[in-house]
Amino acid sequence: MSHRNTRNKPLTDQPAVFRKTYAAFLFDMDGTLLSSIAAAERVWGTWARRHGLDVDAFLPTIHGVRAADTIRRQNLAGIDIDEEVRWVERAEIDDVEGVVAIDGIVDFLNALPQDKWAIVTSATLELASKRLAAAGIALPRHLVTAEDVTRGKPAPDPFLTAAERLGVKASDCLVFEDAPAGIAAGEAAGADVMVITATHAGHFETAHATTGNYVDMIVIAREDGTLAVERRKV
């Protein structure tokens, strides 16, 4: 569903996320706040070739999950998973060429009270810090990274952890995501989900509300401390 198709609809015809209020917003990072696809696929492509994997088949599986989980799923014999994770993470930290913010996200985040949102990423703290800086996005007060959970996405743990740190229930939050693993994690946490499609090459099938970027959305901070998101009126 695109903004072009919904901007003139009555409010009652808009997706539910535009008609509700939330205790907090929880944002994935890669593909949701910023685009790091080019850098990530350069690094993971090199890693896959080193291990004789089919790069074209492998690359679509890397998004939205922790590096250790991606590597573990390959069931490669005779490797040291911790060492492989260190190689990938160092290569990703060293390569942030082409990492850019999703359109409109900086203004969108600046409109949010600092204690009402968090970034919830499968990246490590060092990698998240490097990519956010490259995209011109300031580190938030609340940031959940790969080190903070035992089970990463698609388990709900990262979003549950973020909600707990914010002092709210995950079921009272709106999750912004782009990847299937993250969407599943948001669902499992009981949150509503908004899917960001800026980095999707084609149509993305989902039952959730979608938007290409943040340019046409505004944050409403209500007097009772809750948040809402609305389509920008034209």
Q: Per the residue annotation, which of 13, 28, 69, 95 is the catalytic one?
A: 28
Q: Is 28 annotated in the active site?
A: yes
Check: CB of residue 218 under 8 Å from CB of residue 186. no
Check: CB of residue 176 under 8 Å from CB of residue 194. yes
Check: CB of residue 203 under 8 Å from CB of residue 194. no
Check: CB of residue 120 under 8 Å from CB of residue 158. yes
Q: Is 157 annotated in the active site?
A: no
For 30, which DSSP code?
B
Give the pair of three-digit tokens for residue 223.
């007097």
Q: Per the residue annotation, which of 30, 69, 95, 192 is the catalytic one?
A: 30
Check: CB of residue 229 under 8 Å from CB of residue 19. no
Positions marked catalytic: 28, 30
